[in-house]
């Protein structure tokens, strides 16, 4: 009887208890968030503006200002007491309101990744900077003569003498031997920091704080591997025949140096395709503006705030930035009227419309893309159009004959480009995962196992050098490379969904998106407006009815 009474009583009591406590916790959290946003919002705006000024002026003092402001923000997120508060909130399980819970998740991860002990963090940052410096000043040698990266690339693109190609390739790998020991030290320091925060290693920690996990990525990458295996073998066999013929060697004799870049991550130029000619007497800025206006996502205000043309001292690349999360979105470009800059402009404006058309009513902390790879996906979705024959025909007023010509060569080239990148990205993802899991293993042979497995490129006989260490991303952008591939997959998934479910077409052949307001409307409502209100996984499912899958990437480019 007594036991029964207790059983009955306890839930009743706890029901009462939990009945009021959550509201308390939620109120406490709300208060914290209000104070946090008040503090961080002006800091972020100031930093973004400083970054913008530095990119335009190129002045050292402007870059110094950016570093100082970035450090100030980092200090906010490294506060241990505030982190403890957020952890307590999370562990309490009493934050029921979904918008509050989402903000808590985002804040918790931002604090967590900045909880590395200051001494250890300093060692990590210093060693990283040191390696990057060695990278940028190192010059490989050919027959004792120093060569630049551009000279190496030029040889790999044009030389037909295999021995000379081999020397250039070997020169490109010399930096690996110079930095490998330091990279392994850096990996161990990063692991040490991650272990102190309760993670297996730094790779696991990076994925977790970025709301991803190894099981999920393994599943996606394994599926992509399976789906691309056969088609890649076939495409690569064709490619190998062409490359072998060019150098007068048998296919069996092809070595890593017969591909056109040091890692076989780019498409060897075996197909004649010059798209620049179609853009040279056009104005890419006007084309970009009119295309985006046509799909109902006008970019005039973005372009008005932007810096679009080359200037002395200015950052020579391109990016998009959301200055204040209140509509001041800008892009930086160095436009020329050619295909590369048409792609870049469409790409950066893709990032820009994601930021521009988000929900202005959403809480400040959630007024951002769901993930770095989701905004990359939208940028890729639009960037791909610059070489889409149907888009070119409509935007550039090409004849049907010209369009067909572009399509014939272009589709082969694009297919090769996408699949080569996919197989290369698998090497990076798998190797990096294993590098952090066990940095003491034989990394030199692990690297070649990956290259042989995914890229079908043979290890040179008896080669035992840290060729993996010649890739700067392990130092400069750790545990990030897989996101490029996730972006490509999502771009294709969005494309598939829009073509078949929004535009309700029978096929994606000849789809240009020109004037398709429904496509812009779908993206604005289902992707941009969702901001970071949902985990990326949920956002994708809500938008397309499916979880992220490599299926549509394979549909679009491989089969």
Binding site for Zn ion (CB under 5 A): 379
Q: Least separation, in Å, of the C-beta of 379 and Zn ion?
A: 4
Specify whether the backbone of 264 is left (phi greater than 0), alpha (psi in -120 to 50) or beta. left
Distance between CA atoms of residues 376 and 489, nearest Å: 10
Of 179 and 297, the one with the shorter C-beta distance to Zn ion is 297
Nearest to 186 by CA among 485, 479, 484, 449: 479
Q: Least separation, in Å, of the C-beta of 490 and Zn ion?
A: 13
Q: Least separation, in Å, of the C-beta of 329 and Zn ion?
A: 14
Of 179 and 332, the one with the shorter C-beta distance to Zn ion is 332
Q: Least separation, in Å, of the C-beta of 370 and Zn ion?
A: 15
Contact 496, 543 (CB under 8 A): no
Distance between CA atoms of residues 90 and 531, nearest Å: 22
Of 376 and 467, the one with the shorter C-beta distance to Zn ion is 376
Q: Least separation, in Å, of the C-beta of 12 and Zn ion?
A: 55
Sign of the dihedral through C-alpha 36, 37, 42, 48: positive
Contact 348, 320 (CB under 8 A): yes
Contact 275, 406 (CB under 8 A): yes
Contact 228, 555 (CB under 8 A): no
Token readout for 460 is 């040179």
Distance between CA atoms of residues 86 and 26, nearest Å: 12
Of 175 and 379, the one with the shorter C-beta distance to Zn ion is 379
Of 115 and 483, the one with the shorter C-beta distance to Zn ion is 483
Of 201 and 532, the one with the shorter C-beta distance to Zn ion is 532
Q: Least separation, in Å, of the C-beta of 484 and Zn ion?
A: 9
Q: Least separation, in Å, of the C-beta of 381 and Zn ion?
A: 11
Q: Least separation, in Å, of the C-beta of 333 and Zn ion?
A: 12
Of 380 and 426, the one with the shorter C-beta distance to Zn ion is 380
Contact 304, 327 (CB under 8 A): no
Of 239 and 379, the one with the shorter C-beta distance to Zn ion is 379
The number of residues making up the chain comes to 559
Token readout for 524 is 């604005």
Give me the long-range contacts of 93-100 (CB less than 8 A, separation at least 24).
94/18, 94/21, 94/22, 94/25, 94/26, 95/22, 95/25, 95/26, 95/29, 96/22, 96/26, 97/26, 99/363, 99/366, 99/533, 100/26, 100/29, 100/30, 100/33
Q: What is the CA radius of gyration of the chain?
A: 26
Of 265 and 411, the one with the shorter C-beta distance to Zn ion is 265
Contact 358, 375 (CB under 8 A): no
Q: Least separation, in Å, of the C-beta of 291 and Zn ion?
A: 18
Q: Least separation, in Å, of the C-beta of 383 and Zn ion?
A: 8
Q: Least separation, in Å, of the C-beta of 487 and Zn ion?
A: 8
Of 224 and 379, the one with the shorter C-beta distance to Zn ion is 379
Of 170 and 428, the one with the shorter C-beta distance to Zn ion is 428
Residue number of the CB atom closest to Zn ion: 379
Contact 45, 324 (CB under 8 A): yes
User: Please, what's the b/e burial string for 455-484 (b: 16 or more CB within 10 A of its CB; e: otherwise)?
Assistant: bbbebbeebebbbbbbbeebbeebbebbbb
**Hey, is 147 helix, strand or coil?**
strand
Of 379 and 419, the one with the shorter C-beta distance to Zn ion is 379
Q: Least separation, in Å, of the C-beta of 294 and Zn ion?
A: 22
User: In whole angstroms, what separates CA 493 from the centre of its chain?
Assistant: 16
Cα dist. 1→6, 13, 61, 258 in Å? 9, 18, 78, 83
């Amino acid at each position: 009887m007594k036991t029964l009474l207790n059983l009955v009583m306890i839930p009743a009591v706890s029901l009462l208890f939990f009945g009021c406590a959550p509201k308390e916790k939620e109120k406490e959290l709300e208060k914290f968030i209000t104070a946090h946003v008040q503090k961080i919002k002006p800091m972020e705006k100031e930093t973004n503006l400083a970054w913008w000024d530095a990119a335009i002026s190129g002045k050292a003092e402007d870059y110094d200002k950016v570093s100082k402001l970035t450090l100030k923000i980092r200090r906010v997120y490294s506060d241990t007491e505030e982190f403890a508060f957020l952890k307590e909130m999370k562990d309490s399980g009493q934050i029921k309101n979904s918008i509050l819970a989402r903000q808590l998740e985002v804040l918790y991860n931002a604090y967590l990744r900045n909880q590395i002990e200051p001494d250890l963090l300093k060692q990590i940052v210093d060693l990283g900077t040191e390696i990057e410096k060695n990278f940028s000043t190192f010059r490989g040698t050919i027959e004792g003569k120093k060569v630049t990266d551009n000279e190496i690339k030029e040889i790999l693109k044009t030389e037909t003498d295999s021995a000379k190609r081999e020397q250039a390739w070997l020169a490109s790998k010399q930096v690996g031997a110079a930095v490998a020991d330091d990279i392994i030290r850096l990996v161990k320091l990063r692991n040490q920091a991650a272990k102190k925060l309760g993670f297996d290693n730094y790779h696991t920690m990076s994925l977790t704080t970025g709301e991803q996990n190894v099981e999920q990525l393994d599943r996606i990458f394994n599926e992509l591997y399976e789906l691309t295996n056969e088609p890649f073998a076939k495409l690569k066999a064709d490619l190998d025949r062409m490359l072998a013929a060019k150098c007068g060697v048998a296919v069996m004799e092809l070595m890593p140096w017969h591909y056109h870049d040091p890692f076989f991550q780019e498409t060897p130029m075996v197909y004649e395709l010059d798209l620049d000619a179609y853009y040279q007497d056009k104005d890419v800025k006007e084309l970009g503006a009119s295309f985006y206006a046509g799909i109902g996502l006008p970019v005039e205000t973005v372009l008005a705030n932007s810096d679009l043309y080359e200037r002395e001292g200015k950052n020579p690349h391109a990016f998009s930035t959301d200055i204040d999360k209140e509509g001041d979105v800008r892009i930086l470009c160095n436009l020329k009227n050619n295909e590369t800059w048409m792609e870049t402009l469409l790409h950066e404006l893709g990032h820009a419309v994601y930021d521009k058309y988000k929900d202005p009513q959403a809480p400040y902390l959630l007024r951002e893309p769901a993930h770095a790879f989701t905004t990359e996906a939208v940028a890729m979705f639009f960037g791909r159009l610059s070489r889409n024959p149907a888009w070119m025909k409509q935007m550039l007023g090409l004849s049907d004959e010209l369009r067909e010509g572009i399509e014939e060569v272009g589709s082969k080239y694009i297919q090769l480009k996408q699949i080569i990148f996919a197989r290369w990205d698998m090497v990076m993802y798998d190797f990096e995962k294993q590098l952090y899991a066990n940095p003491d293993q034989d990394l030199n042979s692990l690297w070649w196992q990956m290259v042989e497995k995914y890229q079908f490129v043979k290890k040179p006989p008896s080669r035992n050098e840290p060729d993996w260490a010649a890739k700067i991303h392990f130092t400069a952008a750790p545990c990030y490379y897989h996101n490029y591939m996730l972006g490509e997959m999502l771009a294709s998934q969005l494309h598939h969904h829009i073509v078949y479910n929004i535009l309700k077409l029978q096929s994606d052949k000849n789809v240009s998106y020109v004037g398709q307001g429904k496509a812009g409307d779908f993206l604005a409502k289902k992707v941009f407006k969702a901001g970071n209100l949902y985990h990326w996984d949920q956002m994708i499912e809500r938008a397309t009815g499916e979880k992220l899958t490599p299926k549509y990437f394979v549909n679009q480019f491989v089969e």
